[in-house]
Amino acid sequence: MEPDTFVILENYIGGQFVPCADHLDSYDPSTGEAYCKVPDSGPPQVEAAVHAAKEAFPGWAARSPEQRAQVLNKLADLMEAHLEEFAQAESKDQGKTLTFARTVDIPRSIYNFRFFASSVLHHTNEGSQMDHLGCLNYTVRCPVGVAGLISPWNLPLYLLTWKIAPAIAAGNTVVAKPSEMTSVTTWMMCKLMREAGVPPGVVNVVFGTGPRAGDALVGHPDVPLVSFTGSTATARLITERGAPYCKKLSLELGGKNPAIVFADADLDLCVQTTVRSSFSNQGEICLCTSRIYVEKCIYSTFLEKFVAAARKWKTGVPSDPASSNGALVSKEHLEKVRGFVDLARAEGATVHCGEGVDPLPLPRRNAGGYFMAATVISGVSRRSRLTQEEIFGPVACVAPFEDEDEEGALAEADAVRYGLAAVVWTRDLARAHRVAARLRAGLVWANCWMVRDLRMPFGGVKSSGVGREGDKDSYRFFTDVKTVTVKY
């Protein structure tokens, strides 16, 4: 895709690009200008995609895992050959820095296909013998059918491939709907499907909004399982739409993730990592730490160092190698995040840096972009919306705590409805294990952040989701288990 080309996307159904009569504008977040038209699909387009996926399912499911793995690896190779084009497009479409897209989003998207191409070859089934009855029991796992996959706008190709790869590796066919705000790299990937050997109908992509395309997909009676990453509010609607059909659901939802910093932490490493964990990708990662609790005796020192480090976390033009952050995804999202900072001031909190405090110089061409500097706030109460709600932007709230137990760090960390991830900073390994065990979160990092092993389960508790994804967990979700008993 040429940098200054106005792009009109088409749905990918049954191995063909299919035009759509209605379109939505998609914007370059760094300039605020429309540069792309995305299909505004609805029930007819979803119906066609589900039909194509159903038609393709028997043939794809009949292939051996080795044959399916060859196709996934070929697709990964083709994507890698076009890595720079994908990175440029992801940065322009989402607003993230080109560096982040080049080193995180696109390499991980490629790795997702390679990982699941390999992992599907190594799963084993279970068996048991009942000698007293002369019976042998064993299990087999079968692909489920047409998988509905819905991914968000923050890590567009990264998160969609995290769903497509295990789904088709296990023998399912898919109908995918990326966010209407960040659809370009998925469309580019579809261009490589035929060359990779993906049979028509195995991967179908319908672009559009949640209320139209997404609703039609999750409510379709021939889509028996849905994997969704996005907001808790949308997940409730998906659950309601899928309930009459008893659909299998995997829901990876929001986070309001705490970092707990004890006095014995390696403070320099902690500050360096916590700036990254708070503000990476403009804070638009469900795993970002937006609440930072610091033991009282080092609170002032930490806050001073953290604010200084946040000021060095440069927000600027995404193509600038010196930029740590680019632009937020949309004008509406920027206004929402700014609204939280305004609320902090109204409630008497202190904004130490960033929004409304530090100047944000930008080139004239980017003056209409959706930029916001890394913002650090203190003096926020436990009941404040800043503490309780997912901001999903470059905003971190810092507060002191007295001790570890129920009235201290653990109480503060667990006093929200979310439970996706948490970070613990301490040199005391016994404390690290103890606190990790007691935190209500699906993932806990100790003295690090965003170290991901795709073999391990990923997901949250409470309002942060239902189900797990990862090597074995994704395989179990995208297959049905069958027990066979044979009398001998």
Give the integer Cα–Cα distance in Å for 295 and 265. 10
CB 370 within 8 A of CB 181: no
Please tell me the total number of residues recorded for the chain in this structure. Answer: 488
**Could you confirm whether 448 is annotated as catalytic?**
no
The first and second tokens of residue 379, run together, are: 């003096």
Nearest to 69 by CA among 16, 118, 20, 127: 118
CB atoms within 10 A of CB 471: 21
The first and second tokens of residue 252, run together, are: 């990876």
CB 290 within 8 A of CB 391: yes
Beta strands in 186-317 (DSSP E): 203-205, 225-229, 248-252, 257-261, 289-295
Contacts of residue 332, defined as CB under 8 A and 6 or more positions apart, other chains included, come to: none
**Could you confirm whether 195 is annotated as catalytic?**
no
Nearest to 68 by CA among 171, 200, 144: 171
Let me know the angle formed at the C-alpha of 53 by 51 and 56, rounded to the nearest 5 degrees.
110
DSSP 60-124: HHHS-HHHHHHHHHHHHHHHHHTHHHHHHHHHHHH---HHHIIIIIHHHHHHHHHHHHHHTTS--
CB atoms within 10 A of CB 423: 28
The first and second tokens of residue 482, run together, are: 């069958």
CB atoms within 10 A of CB 137: 14
One-letter amino acid for residue 13 of the chain: I
* Element of type H or E holding 364: none
CB 450 within 8 A of CB 404: no
- Collapsed DSSP state (helix, strand, coil) of residue 293: strand
Nearest to 462 by CA among 401, 413, 419: 419
Contacts of residue 353, defined as CB under 8 A and 6 or more positions apart, other chains included, come to: 307, 310, 311, 373, 374, 375, 376
CB 160 within 8 A of CB 186: yes
One-letter amino acid for residue 289 of the chain: T
Give the integer Cα–Cα distance in Å for 96 and 182. 11
Catalytic pick among 20, 270, 286, 397: 286
Give the integer Cα–Cα distance in Å for 193 and 197. 6
CA end-to-end span of the chain, whole Å? 62
Give the integer Cα–Cα distance in Å for 26 and 42. 18
Catalytic pick among 252, 284, 295, 404: 252
Catalytic residues: 252, 286
